[in-house]
Structures are given as C-alpha cells and as structure tokens.
C-alpha cells in the first residue's frame, strides 16, 4: 500500500527551520490534501498481511499512541518506511485515511484526542481543538453584517482542482441545480464564495461541500451562502455558474 507525502515532509522540515505563519499554513494545507496510512486490526484479516475487503459490518480496531497523561491519539503514517520504524516485526493492516477521516473519528469518539503524524519521525500532533480550529478558520457560512464592505469578482488564479472536485460532488447531489465560485473580499479579507441553488436545501449540504473542498483551498477561507440571500442574488446577476445540472 503506497502513499506519496514527499511534499508534506519537505514542508515540515522547512517549518522546523523557519517557524513562520506562512510555512505553518502551507503545512496545514498539505496535511488537508494528504493520504495517510492508519494502522488497524481488522476482523478476519489474513495472516502476514494482504488485501482485505472492508464493508459497513467490518470490525476495525485502531492502533493508538497513549501520552503520559493518558490521552489516546490515532496514528497517521506518511509512508511504509515510517510504519516500519514504529513496528518492525509484527505485520499489521493499514487503511488509507485523509485528514477528514481522522477528524471525523476523533470528533465522534470521546476516547480519542486527535492524531499524530509519524510518531517515530516528525511527530506532529493534531488535537481535537486544533482540528476544530482548522475547519472553522477555513469554512463558514457567509453572513453579511450591516456596513460590511464586500467586493465580489472572478478568481485571478482559477482553482481548477477545487472546481473539478465540486463538479464531481454535485453530480451525485440531485438537489444542486447550479453553483457559483467567486472571489470575495470582506473587510479586506480575501476568500472564496460558493453559492449553490438546491431548492432551499442549501444549508443541509454545506458540511458535505466544505469537507470535499477543504483539501483544495490552499489555506483560503471558504464562505457559503443560501440562494435566497442578497449576496447570492448579486452573484447570480453578475456572474456565470461553473456548474449547471444537465
């Protein structure tokens, strides 16, 4: 099972030498895009390793690291070599997980405090509070307060990867009829603005859209608004949608 996290390791090494907010944000952005090896024990796993088909009924036991104060952290390995540093002899199954997978498990489990990347390597921990802060800082429901100065335009550097991901997502969302992606400046803060038209069900879809978008934001904030808002009406009048359901 192979994953490629060379860019993430390079950025983490850079962060150790240059402890700046810019490099820290680059590390976080790369973590959001990365795929990790999560060591697990699977029910009926073959001896000596090998491929296992996982379904909703498969029982999964996660391997964890316990801190001195008794807190449990899941493990996120960037490569097979990092797995072998941690456990040289015993062969164990691994599942490929993303940041969002780890975030979901930690958020829904009182016994898990977060996850650690390469405990025998870079040894960087993401706690529940850090996970929550990262998600809150990147995505939010757009609310326009009185006297707020807002400018809306087209992104100069078009986020094609983000757009492609959203198009694929919306193909499986029957309620989404069309969608816009614009650049929004609110009180000098620049971020993306997504407007979707989903027959009044927009708010129900925000979390799913945010989860899909996060790995492709490159640290940019993401705002989403419902189709009946004044901001949405302005966008519809001035811009073309990037997605229209056929």
If 0-12 CB within 10 Å is exposed, 13-18 middle and 19+ buried, where does residue 236 land? Answer: middle
Which residue do the tokens 């870079």 mark? Answer: 122
21 pLDDT higher than 90: no
Ordered by where they begin, the domains of the chain are: 6-137 (no CATH), 142-244 (3.30.300)
State the pLDDT at residue 91: 54
Over the chain, what is the mean pLDDT?
Answer: 84
Which residue has better confidence, 125 or 20? 125
When pLDDT is cut at 50, 70 and 90, the band that residue 238 belongs to is: very high
Strand 93-98 to 64-66 pairing: unpaired
52 pLDDT higher than 60: no
State the pLDDT at residue 54: 56
Tokens at 134, concatenated: 């990262």
180 pLDDT higher than 90: yes
**Section 7-26 average pLDDT:** 86
State the pLDDT at residue 51: 47
State the pLDDT at residue 55: 54
**Cα Rg of the chain, angstroms:** 20
When pLDDT is cut at 50, 70 and 90, the band that residue 140 belongs to is: low
Strand 222-225 to 114-117 pairing: unpaired
Task: Kindly report the number of other CB atoms within 10 A of residue 171's CB atom.
Answer: 12
**Section 73-93 average pLDDT:** 83
What's the whole-model pTM score?
A: 0.63
When pLDDT is cut at 50, 70 and 90, the band that residue 242 belongs to is: very high
């Amino acid at each position: 099972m192979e994953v490629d996290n060379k860019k993430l390791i390079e950025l983490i090494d850079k962060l150790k030498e240059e402890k700046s907010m810019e490099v820290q944000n680059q590390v976080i952005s790369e973590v959001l895009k990365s795929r990790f090896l999560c060591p697990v024990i699977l029910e009926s796993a073959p001896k000596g390793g090998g491929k296992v088909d996982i379904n909703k009924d498969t029982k999964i036991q996660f391997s964890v690291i316990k801190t001195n104060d008794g807190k449990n952290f899941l493990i996120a390995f960037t490569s097979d070599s990092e797995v072998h540093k941690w456990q040289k002899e015993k062969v164990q199954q691994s599942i490929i997980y993303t940041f969002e997978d780890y975030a979901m498990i930690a958020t829904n489990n009182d016994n898990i405090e977060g996850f650690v990347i390469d405990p025998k390597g870079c040894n960087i921990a993401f706690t529940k509070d850090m996970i929550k802060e990262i998600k809150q800082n990147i995505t939010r429901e757009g609310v326009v307060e009185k006297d707020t100065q807002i400018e809306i335009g087209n992104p100069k550097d078009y986020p094609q990867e983000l757009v492609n991901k959203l198009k694929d997502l919306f193909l499986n969302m029957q309620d989404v009829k069309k969608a816009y992606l614009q650049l929004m400046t609110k009180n000098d803060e620049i971020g993306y603005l997504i407007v979707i038209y989903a027959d009044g069900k927009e708010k129900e879809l925000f979390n799913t859209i945010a989860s899909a978008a996060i790995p492709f934001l490159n640290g940019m904030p993401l705002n989403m608004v419902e189709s009946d808002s004044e901001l949405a009406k302005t966008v519809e009048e001035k811009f073309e949608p990037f997605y229209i359901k056929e």
